[in-house]
Amino acid sequence: EPEVTQTPSHQVTQMGQEVILRCVPISNHLYFYWYRQILGQKVEFLVSFYNNEISEKSEIFDDQFSVERPDGSNFTLKIRSTKLEDSAMYFCASQGPNEQFFGPGTRLTVL
Amino acid sequence: RKEVEQDPGPFNVPEGATVAFNCTYSNSASQSFFWYRQDCRKEPKLLMSVYSSGNEDGRFTAQLNRASQYISLLIRDSKLSDSATYLCVVNRGGYQKVTFGTGTKLQVIP
């Protein structure tokens, strides 16, 4: 069964450093998303992406965040200068005919 | 009012019990509704979609009441493996973002 994959599974970084989180969506899907979940809180939408453009973004997705599809398979989330409050689980998702499929997540820890 | 509201629980139930979870949503234009399951520190996984006519999948039954903007999930004959957080998820339609509730934690006790 096709699945969304994400790397790395865990990223530890120092405050102020840049991080890039990588995702490989399901191959025939066209719409991609990033969500985050701070420990103990609900899953929150960050950004949606279609046809090499951002289609919607939340208030969380400020100038420190960017997304890119550098090739035909990868979908990346970059955080330019990480803050302590960016520590969270980041989930990538891609849209199927009915529901969204989620990757296993990257746990980002900012020290 | 929160977009999607759930009782966070926890619900502690014995094996074999029937348990029901409720969810309300605020946007009357919402189009698609789902229950996802999330195990600790794992990704959300689709449990079932929810339709106005109601739908059943084995021990799980989901109902949607559009007039009351209310979604429910019933789990019959609870198993230990049902222990997880159950997420109510709402979509405004098409390929738009989904909105999650806070989740309801279920612990099934031997």
Tokens of B3: 């977009």
Interface contact A42-B103, CB threshold 8 A: yes
Q: What is the pLDDT of residue A3?
A: 94
Q: What is the pLDDT of residue A104?
A: 97
Q: What is the pLDDT of residue B92?
A: 87
- DSSP for residue B6: E
**pLDDT tens sequence across B35-75:** 999 999 899 999 999 988 889 999 999 999 999 999 999 99
Q: Which residue of B has its CA nearest to A90?
A: B43
Alpha-carbon span A40 to A18, nearest angstrom: 25
pLDDT mean over B1-30 = 94
- The answer to which of A6-10, A46-50, A96-100 has the lowest mean pLDDT is A96-100
Q: Would you list which residues of chain B are within 8 Å, Cβ to Cβ, of chain A?
A: 32, 34, 41-46, 49, 87, 95-103
Mean pLDDT score of chain B: 94
Contact A5/B at CB under 8 A: no
Omega cis (within 30) before A104 = no
